[in-house]
Amino acid sequence: PRINQVRALRRVVFRHGDTIISAKTGFGKSIIFHAIPIFIGRIVIQLIPLSKLGEEQKRSIEQLPGARPSLVTAETKRRNPNLLKEIAAGIYTHILMGPEQAVSDEFRGLLLSPDVKNRIGVVAIDELHVMEQWKEFRLEYLKIRELRRYLRADTIWFGCSATLNKATEQAVIYYGGFYEETHHELPLKIIRVSIDRPDISLNILPIKRGKSKAYQRLWFLVDHALEHPTSRTEDDLQRIPKTIIFVDGLQSVANISASLERHLFVQGFEPTMVRDAIGVYTSNTPRYDQDLLYDKIRSP
C-alpha cells in the first residue's frame, strides 16, 4: 500500500476526522472505500456519480472476503423490491448509490431509524469534483450536506478526486457536508498527492474556418487499419488503437460515426466489419449494446 493510502485509512478507521484525498487516477483511492467496513465493522455509504461506475465498483468489492455490497438505483430497486428493507436489516457492508437515491425521501426516512444510524460509520463521496461541476443539472448534489443531520455526529465523511483546484475544493467541502479543518472534534484533513500524469498529452488542433463539420480531420484515427495496401481484414481493423471520441450532441455523434464508416468502406472494408469496429454510445443506445461497448473498451 502507498503511504498516503494508509494515512487516509488510518484517519477514517481511528475517527481522527473527515478526510479528503486528492490524487491522480490510478492512485488506488477506491481501495480505501472498499477496505473501510472491514476495519470498522460498520457500513459505508459510497456516493457514485454514475450507475455504470457503481456496477464496476460493486464487482470489485465482491472480490473481498466478507464484503457484501449493494448498488441502489431505480433499476435495482425495481428488480428487488425488498432492497431498502435488506439495507435496514444490515445485511450489506457497502451501499453504493447516486445522489438522487441518497437524498430521496425514501432513503432519508430509512436513516431516521436509530438501528440504521448506528450501523453506518462512513459516508464516502467518489469523484468529489462533480459535485461542483454537475450541480447545475444534478441538483441533488446540493443536498448531500443534509445527510449529516440524519446520521450520528461521529459519522466520518470521506471523499476523493483527481481534479480538485482550490475553488472546487471549497465548494465540495460545503456541498458535501464536510466539517471544516478547524472543527473541534472531527477536523477535516486534506491529503494532497501529485496529480501529474506524464503519460498523458494534450494535442490541440485548430479547425479551419467553415470546416467545423468536415470530419475528415478525424480519419487519421483509423490509419493503422490501412497500413497494408492490399489487406482489408478484421485483423487490420483490430490494429486501430482503442479510441474514445467525445462530442457534444447526438447528431454530431452520428455524423462522426458515419464519416469514419464511409472512409473505411471506400478503402475496401466490408460494412459488417466496419460496424463492429466503430461503436456509438449515447443515451439512445440500448442498454445491452452499451454494456457490450463498455466491456470492449475495458478489456485488454
Domain 3-192 coded CATH 1.20.58.100 = no
Average pLDDT by consecutive 10-residue portion of the chain (300 residues)? 92 95 87 91 95 92 94 96 97 97 96 96 95 92 95 95 90 95 92 85 85 86 92 93 92 94 94 93 91 87
| Model confidence, pTM | 0.81
Other C-beta atoms lying within 10 Å of the C-beta of residue 254: 14
Q: What is the pLDDT of residue 33?
A: 87
Q: In what order do the strands lie in the sheet with 19-22?
A: 69-72, 94-97, 43-47, 120-125, 156-161, 19-22, 189-192
Q: What is the pLDDT of residue 212?
A: 78
Q: Where are the CATH 3.40.50.300 domain residues in the chain?
A: 3-192
Q: What is the pLDDT of residue 76?
A: 96
Q: What is the pLDDT of residue 192?
A: 92
Q: What is the DSSP string of 158-184?
A: EEEES---HHHHHHHHHHHTPPPTT-S
Q: What is the pLDDT of residue 200?
A: 83
Distance CA 241, CA 73 (A): 34
Distance CA 298, CA 279 (A): 14
Give the chain's length.
Answer: 300
